[in-house]
Structure 1
Amino acid sequence: MALQPSLQSALVIAGKYDAPHTLDIFLDYVCPFSAKLALAIDGVLKPLFAPGGKYAGKVKVIFRNQVQPWHGSSTFVHEAGLAVARVAPEQFWTFSLALFANQREYYDIPVSTLTPTQIREKLAELVSESIGEDKAAPFKDLLTLKSTPNGGVDVTDDLKYTIKFSRQNGIHVSPTVLWDGLIANEISSSWGEKEWTEFLEKKVAV
Structure 2
Amino acid sequence: MTTTSWHADPLTWGTGPRIFEAFLEPTCPYSVRAFNKFEELLSRAGEDKITVKIRLQSQPWHMYSGVIVRCIIAASTLEGGKQTAKKVMAAVAAHREEFEFERHAVGPNMDVTPNQIIERLERYSGVKLKEAFAIPDLDREIKWHCKYARQNGIHVSPTFMIDGLAQADMSSGDEVGAWVKKVLGN
TM superposition score normalised by structure 2: 0.83
- One of 50, 66, 80 as aligned partner of 1:59: 50
Note the 1:66-77 alignment, pairs <5 A: 66-77=57-68
**Which consecutive unaligned segments of at least 5 residues does structure 1 have?**
1-5, 129-134, 146-152
Question: Who is 1:156 aligned against?
Answer: 139
Q: Does 1:86 align with 2:84?
A: no
In structure 2, C-alpha distance between the alignment counterparts of 1:37 and 1:48, rounded to whole Å: 15
In structure 2, C-alpha distance between the alignment counterparts of 1:103 and 1:142, rounded to whole Å: 22
* CA spacing shift, 1:177–1:110, aligned 2, 3 Å: farther
Deviations 1:66-122 (A, max 9, x none): 100121100011111111111131332232122111111011234211122222222
- The size of the alignment, in residue pairs, is 173
Question: Who is 2:157 aligned against?
Answer: 174
Note the 1:186-201 alignment, pairs <5 A: 186-201=169-184
Matched-pair contact (CA < 8 Å) for 1:142–1:154 = no
**Which consecutive unaligned segments of at least 5 residues does structure 2 have?**
1-6, 102-106
Report the secondary structure of 2:149's partner residue.
helix
Matched to 1:121, the amino acid is: E
| Structural RMSD (CA) | 2.0
- Give 1 or 2: higher helix fraction: 1
Q: Does 1:41 align with 2:38?
A: yes
Deviations 1:44-68 (A, max 9, x none): 212135xxx3xx4221000000100
Report the secondary structure of 1:112's partner residue.
helix
> Where do 4+ consecutive residues of structure 1 move more than 4 Å?
none
Question: Who is 1:22 aligned against?
Answer: 19
In structure 1, C-alpha distance between the alignment counterparts of 2:176 and 2:147, rounded to whole Å: 32
Matched to 2:32, the amino acid is: A
In structure 2, C-alpha distance between the alignment counterparts of 1:64 and 1:126, rounded to whole Å: 22
Identity %: 29
Question: Who is 2:96 aligned against?
Answer: 103
Matched-pair contact (CA < 8 Å) for 1:26–1:66 = yes
* CA spacing shift, 1:193–1:73, aligned 2, 3 Å: same
In structure 1, C-alpha distance between the alignment counterparts of 2:91 and 2:168, rounded to whole Å: 27
